[in-house]
Structure 1
Amino acid sequence: MDKIKLLSDLGTAIARHRADHKLSTVAVAGKAGRSRTVLHKLEHGQDVTVSSLLAILAAMGLCITLEKAGMPTLADMQRRFAEEDGDGDAGDESGGHAA
Structure 2
Amino acid sequence: MKDKIRLPIELGQAIQRARKGGRLKATDIAARSGRARNVLYRLERGEDITVASLFDILRAMDLTIGLQRLGMPTLEEVTDRFGQDDDDAS
1:41 alignment partner in structure 2 = 42
Compute the displacement of 1:69 (Å): 1.1
Q: How does 1:20-99 map to 2 (within 5 A)?
A: 20-72=21-73, 75=78
Which amino acid is 1:25 matched to?
A
Which residue of the partner structure matches residue 16 of structure 1? 17
Structure 1 segments unaligned to the other structure (5+ residues): 80-99
Please give the TM-score of this superposition, normalised by the length of structure 1.
0.72
Identity, % of aligned pairs? 47
- Count of residue correspondences: 78
Gaps of 5+ in 2: 83-90
TM-score by length of 2: 0.79
For residues 61-85 of structure 1, give each alpha carbon's deviation from its aligned partner in whole angstroms, at most 9, with x where no partner exists: 0011111111245728x76xxxxxx
| Structure 1 residue 48, shift from structure 2 partner | 0.4
Task: Give the ranges of 4+ consecutive aligned residues of structure 1 lying more than 3 Å apart after TM superposition.
Answer: none
* RMSD value, Cα: 1.7
